[in-house]
């Protein structure tokens, strides 16, 4: 697999951005990472991820917020990136219920600045993070990139759908090849502390109850972070081309007459939340105290990724089981926080 470097990774100190940057460095790529290092969660975790990246040769870091258009343009001008991977965003469905304005700056204004930088200093390929949350009220399973997704259940999901629409406009107007990736419930070492696996692990070890929404009946297509990274890297050398068979009478949301494409990256195997907790209890060697609650506003009861387009394009399909993935997370957690088993 060959592609031009350096690769720009925004959100490089974030969960997925860190793992992607680390893997790119391991396979010999030069990586330019940028991150605003905000305090949405403990900045020390971001700093520790950065230390790992900065210990490798071929990594350069810039602390830039995507809303700082001048600094972003200057970086693009100096570096002439051939591959741009935008993973910087304000994350979290539940956070968007109480802090909606945070999503406008990062997810809309920030992404517009990335698109404008790519317009003026064109890469071969812009890859950006979307989310499985865009499927919103859809009930047809598994979720397919060919299905309409016009009914988001929370502002976070709406902001990610907006990213896809913005990318399409730039693909059309400026012939910018853009690939949107809908990630499905990503977990693994160095994960975000606001996500279920991290919260559950901490609470169980401390003997505190865990909040189990939808009475544990929720299903999620839990995807181990290494599988997400592998999917991204395999897509880098495949910038989308115009779909010559695209039909405006029956428009396919996943492709276009412009160089634009959408992919799901998920494990293709939804797991009930209660089973996920059982696996975690087994790996921790300790039972959880469960506080059962109804489905929270903005949450979807089930996610399930149709990954046939990803397989068709790259030959790759995520395959890490939750037993393997959760064990790797637990081992990291004990090591990182210096907890004796």
pLDDT tens-digit profile, the chain (341 residues): 567 779 999 999 999 999 999 999 999 999 999 999 988 888 999 999 999 999 999 999 999 999 999 999 999 999 989 999 999 987 766 666 777 887 888 889 999 999 999 999 999 999 999 999 999 989 899 999 999 999 998 888 999 999 999 999 999 999 999 999 999 999 999 999 989 999 999 999 999 999 999 998 889 999 999 999 999 999 999 999 999 999 999 999 999 999 999 999 999 999 999 999 999 999 999 999 999 999 887 777 889 999 999 999 999 999 999 999 999 999 999 999 999 87
> Residue 79: phi, psi to the nearest 5?
-105, -25
3-class SS of residue 240? coil
- Which tens digits make up the pLDDT trace of 172-195? 999 999 999 999 999 999 999 989
Instruction: Report the SS3 class of residue 323.
Output: helix
With contact defined as beta carbons under 8 Å apart, do 159 and 165 qualify? no
> In what helix (H) or strand (E) does residue 9 lie, and over which residues does it extend?
strand 7-10
- Report the DSSP pairing between strands 219-220 and 271-272: antiparallel
**Between 225-235 and 15-26, two packed helices, what is the crossing angle to 10 degrees?**
60
**H or E element, residue 150:** none
b/e sequence 100-109, b meaning 16+ C-beta within 10 Å: eebbeebbbe
Considering the entire predicted model, what is its pTM?
0.95
Angle at 77 between CA 73 and CA 80, to 5 degrees: 125
Count Cβ atoms within 10 A of the Cβ of residue 217 and give its class: 0-12 exposed, 13-18 middle, 19 or more buried: middle
Q: What is the DSSP letter of 214?
A: G
Instruction: In whole angstroms, give the CA distance from residue 33 to residue 75.
Output: 11
Q: How far apart are CA 291 and CA 105, in angstroms?
A: 35
103 close to 159: Cβ distance less than 8 angstroms: yes
| Average per-residue pLDDT for the chain | 94
Catalytic sites, residue numbers: 156
Q: Which tokens belong to 325?
A: 């993935």
Other beta carbons within 10 Å of 58: 16
């Amino acid at each position: 697999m060959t592609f031009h470097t350096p690769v720009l990774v925004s959100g490089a100190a974030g969960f997925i951005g860190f793992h992607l940057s680390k893997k790119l460095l391991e396979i010999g790529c030069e990586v330019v990472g940028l991150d605003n290092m905000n305090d949405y969660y403990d900045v020390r975790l971001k700093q520790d991820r950065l230390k790992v990246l900065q210990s490798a040769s071929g990594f350069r870091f810039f602390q830039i917020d995507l809303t700082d258009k001048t600094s972003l343009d200057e970086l693009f001008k100096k570096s002439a990136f051939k591959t741009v991977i935008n993973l910087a965003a304000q994350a979290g469905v539940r956070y968007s219920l109480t802090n909606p304005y945070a999503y406008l700056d990062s997810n809309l204004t920030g992404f517009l600045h990335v698109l404008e930088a790519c317009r003026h200093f064109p890469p071969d390929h812009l890859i950006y993070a979307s989310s499985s949350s865009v499927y919103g009220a859809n009930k047809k399973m598994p979720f397919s990139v060919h299905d309409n997704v016009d009914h988001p259940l929370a502002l976070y999901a709406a902001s990610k759908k907006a990213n896809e629409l913005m990318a399409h406009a730039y693909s059309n107007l400026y012939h910018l090849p853009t690939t949107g990736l809908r990630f499905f419930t990503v977990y693994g070492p160095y994960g975000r502390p606001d996500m279920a696996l991290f919260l559950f692990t901490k609470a169980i070890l401390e003997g505190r109850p865990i909040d189990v929404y939808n009475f544990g009946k929720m299903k999620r297509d839990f995807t181990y972070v290494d599988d997400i990274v592998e999917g991204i890297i395999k897509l880098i050398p495949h910038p989308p081309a115009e779909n010559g068979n695209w039909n405006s009478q029956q428009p396919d949301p996943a492709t276009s007459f412009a160089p634009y494409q959408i992919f799901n990256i998920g494990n293709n195997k939804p797991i009930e939340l209660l089973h996920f907790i059982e696996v975690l209890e087994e790996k921790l060697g300790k039972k959880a105290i469960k506080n059962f609650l109804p489905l929270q506003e903005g949450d979807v009861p089930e996610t399930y990724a149709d990954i046939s387009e990803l397989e068709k394009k790259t030959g790759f399909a995520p395959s890490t089981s939750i037993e393997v993935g959760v064990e790797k997370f637990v081992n990291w957690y004990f090591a990182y926080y210096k907890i004796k088993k």
